[in-house]
Amino acid sequence: MAGLSKRGTTWYVNWRDANGIVRKKSTGCKDHSAAKKVLKEVERELALDRKDCYAKWRRKPLADHAVDYRDFQLAKGTSVKQADQTHSRIQRTLDDSGIKWMQDLSVSSVTKTIDGMRKKPQSPKRKEESYPTISLRTKNFYAKAIKQLTAWMYREGRIETDLLIHLSMRNIQTDIRHPRRALSDDEFTRLEYAARMSPKAIEGMIGEERAFLYRMARSTGLRKGELGSLHLGSFFLQEPSHLIVEAAYSKHRERDTVYLHPDFISEINGQLASLAPGEPLFPLLSQRKTADMIQADLKVAGIAYKDEHGRFADFHALRHTFVTKAWETNAPANVVMNLARHKDIATTMRYTHKDQSAQIAAIRAMTPPKKVN
């Protein structure tokens, strides 16, 4: 049973929870009769909670559940950036849909909301409805974030069933906004040479620094953020030579081992020789516009940034180049997938760019069916 107590001039409701712990809640009232009305409401809620263990959670706004989920992510070691990004996507989905309570949450309402999302207006003079819709890949990011919330709520015993377990992902292959391609060996050689011989700094990096950055990206398949995380302690150059990408910087939040080509070790040693412990190999890389950087060097090298098929040779294309070259070694598919540090082979195949000559050769190597007279 709950009761009333007074602290100063304000009345409080007191009760013991299921664990015997005394709980207190301010009525916000100084008048005893008004406080008794609040007491009756608390007693009603406590009675409901004894009959329905989910009742108290249904009274909590989804936005508050989202904050709790963010705190949970941080407690288990998720980076602040990742936790904030997930929370931001959840909150925007809730705001755009107008959904406040879990009983109003449904697959259809979330799907409709995410499908109607547009890029945020960059100009105060331009109306949001005039902006293009977000890509299917970005829609998947929003869907994944809100699904993570309800899955966590179910595991935590806040909801009886996972309300969004059937919320499906979009097929991003039907909507690729920025397709990339792999660079040929000749193209990469020209790119690296153009950067190395460049007399000017671009995005704060001189030519030789850019050339080494391109070689690291091409030789390891590391993403921009992963490259920016490397320091002296990341490298282990005894056989088998490798580097470590810590989980906080890896896209899938796992500690990765990335093996290095023997021919690249002496150059890496030369770059590491001048580094102090903890000093980054590529300082402030996260703040540099690598797309602008590589686009300038591609222009000098005489290589189109966007080819006739609409495919881009941006900085991330160097990762596509790495995966494609790994595939061309004829290593088993699972080995290439592991080198790319992907979770499924379908993702790896999207990074593999083979020209039609390989397909033609495969067809010619096949034995045609015999003709029956």
Segment 297-316, tens digit of pLDDT: 999 999 999 988 888 999 99
Instruction: State the pLDDT at residue 313.
Output: 92
Between CA 37 and CA 29 the distance in angstroms is 10
Q: Using pLDDT thresholds of 50, 70 and 90, give the confidence band for residue 90.
A: very high
Instruction: State the pLDDT at residue 131.
Output: 74
Task: Say yes or no to pLDDT of 149 above 90.
Answer: yes
Helix (H) or strand (E) holding 256: strand 256-259
Q: Name the β-bridge partners of 5.
A: 12
152 in Cβ contact with 69 (< 8 Å): yes
Place of tokens 């109607």: 116
Residues 6+ apart with CB under 8 A from 107: 163, 164, 166, 167
Instruction: State the pLDDT at residue 124.
Output: 65
Instruction: State the pLDDT at residue 285.
Output: 94
181 in Cβ contact with 202 (< 8 Å): no
Helix (H) or strand (E) holding 258: strand 256-259
152 in Cβ contact with 86 (< 8 Å): no
**Angle, vertex CA 207, rays to CA 262 and CA 235, nearest 5:** 35
Between CA 256 and CA 246 the distance in angstroms is 7
Between CA 139 and CA 356 the distance in angstroms is 32
20: left (phi > 0), else alpha (psi -120 to 50), else beta? left
Q: Using pLDDT thresholds of 50, 70 and 90, give the confidence band for residue 333.
A: confident
Instruction: State the pLDDT at residue 41.
Output: 83
Q: Using pLDDT thresholds of 50, 70 and 90, give the confidence band for residue 173.
A: low
- Whole-number CA gyration radius for the chain: 28
pLDDT greater at residue 149 or residue 52: 149
Q: Using pLDDT thresholds of 50, 70 and 90, give the confidence band for residue 283.
A: very high
pTM of the predicted model over 0.85: no
Domains in the chain, CATH or no CATH each? 3-51 (no CATH), 62-174 (1.10.150), 185-359 (1.10.443.10)
150 in Cβ contact with 159 (< 8 Å): yes
pLDDT greater at residue 40 or residue 175: 40
Helix (H) or strand (E) holding 22: strand 22-26
Q: How many CA atoms lie within 13 A of 304 on its CB side?
A: 9
Between CA 91 and CA 66 the distance in angstroms is 7
Instruction: State the pLDDT at residue 7.
Output: 83
Mean pLDDT of 313-321: 93
Determine which of 21-30, 184-193, 258-267, 308-317 has the lowest per-residue pLDDT on average.
21-30
SS3 13: strand
Task: Say yes or no to pLDDT of 128 above 70.
Answer: no
Helix (H) or strand (E) holding 244: strand 242-245
What mean pLDDT is reported for the chain?
86
Determine which of 120-124, 163-167, 271-275 has the lowest per-residue pLDDT on average.
120-124
Instruction: State the pLDDT at residue 1.
Output: 67
